[in-house]
């Protein structure tokens, strides 16, 4: 089975062309094996690029622990690059079906290959039950509502913003956002390994998040510049998280810490975020193909080419 290793700002996955390749029935086990950094190809997970009946292609993604996730903002950029660079499309604007709905990507092409991709991440979900979280929402102040994009100012009256959460002996002030997958954002004075590697795993499995949660820790440099690290649900610390960066952009605006357009510095590189007047969050960043190879499948576990 052929695979391609790609990354967006260091958030690396093993990509498989599901238009052509034969895959085993047990996709979670394949994801665990192929993502292993010692005994497999190595990555934060596995992404399948598949045919779609409603869009240009469909993306399915599995974390390194085999759990399937709804969406990944860095991975979808790489899916767009793969489709164009490998001649599966000649279009520079694509619609990709994901577990979080159909998202649009715009490809920035130079010398015949995609270098950067702008993703319409859609509307953030702020209602606690839609995130999901059992933390209570609080009514937004008039000042907070005035900072909302025009398309949302009349409809969003409350959100989980700077809500108290007790974790590992710390009283945190957290903001919760779904970008098709759940995020818990904590603004801190200074980033440290302790925040990410000790507090992050505790937040992931906290009882207030029935489907677990991605935990972002953010240091504000200025209203337009942030530094962020992330503990990803099912993968541990990763070098970047696109949906997490989108959630941070939203949380920064709601809490009054940032403007609607920011640059976020992650361990793997920079992402540009904008919470637009239409209420959608837009993210722009790199997409890089690293290498390709062949994974030896156990013939006894192989199945027909995947079509769903």
- Residues recognised as catalytic: 72, 241
Distance CA 200, CA 245 (A): 16
CB contact at 8 A, 22 and 302? yes
Report helix, strand or coil for 276: coil
- Strand-pairing partners, residue 278, are none
Helices and strands per DSSP (H, E), number in the chain = 6, 20
Show the tokens assigned to 308. Answer: 């769903």
Q: List b or e across 25-63, with b for residues whose CB sees 16 or more CB atoms inside 10 angstroms.
A: eebeebbbbbbeeeebbebbbbbbbbbbeebbbbbbbbb
CB contact at 8 A, 47 and 61? yes
Chain-centre distance for alpha carbon 175: 17
Note the maximum CA span of the chain: 62
Distance CA 20, CA 51 (A): 10
Distance CA 178, CA 250 (A): 10
Chain-centre distance for alpha carbon 90: 25
């Amino acid at each position: 089975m052929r695979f391609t290793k790609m990354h967006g700002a260091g958030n690396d996955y093993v990509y498989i062309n599901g238009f052509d390749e034969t895959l085993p029935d047990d996709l979670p086990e394949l994801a665990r094996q192929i993502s292993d950094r010692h005994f497999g190809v190595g990555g934060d997970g596995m992404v399948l690029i598949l045919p779609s009946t409603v869009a240009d292609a469909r993306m399915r993604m599995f974390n390194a622990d085999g759990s399937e996730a709804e969406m990944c903002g860095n991975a979808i950029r790489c899916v767009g690059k793969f489709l164009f660079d490998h001649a599966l499309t000649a279009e520079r604007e694509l619609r990709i079906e994901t577990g979080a709905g159909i998202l649009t990507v715009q490809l920035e092409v130079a010398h015949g290959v995609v270098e950067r991709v702008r993703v319409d991440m859609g509307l953030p979900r702020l209602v606690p039950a839609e995130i999901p979280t059992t933390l209570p929402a609080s009514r937004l102040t008039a000042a907070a509502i005035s900072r909302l994009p025009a398309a949302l100012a009349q409809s969003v009256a409350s959100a989980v913003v700077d809500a108290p959460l007790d974790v590992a002996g710390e009283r945190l002030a957290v903001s919760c956002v779904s970008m098709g997958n759940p995020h818990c954002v904590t603004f801190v004075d200074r980033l440290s390994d302790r925040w990410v590697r000790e507090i992050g795993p505790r937040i992931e499995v906290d009882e207030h998040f029935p489907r677990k949660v991605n935990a972002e820790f953010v240091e504000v440099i200025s209203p337009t510049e942030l530094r962020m690290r992330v503990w990803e649900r099912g993968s541990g610390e990763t070098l970047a998280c696109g949906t997490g960066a989108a959630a941070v952009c939203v949380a920064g605006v709601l809490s009054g810490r940032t403007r609607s357009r920011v640059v976020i510095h992650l361990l793997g590189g920079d992402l540009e975020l904008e919470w637009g007047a239409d209420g959608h969050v837009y993210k722009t960043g790199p997409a890089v193909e690293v290498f390709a190879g062949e994974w030896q499948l156990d013939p006894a576990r192989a199945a027909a080419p995947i079509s769903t």
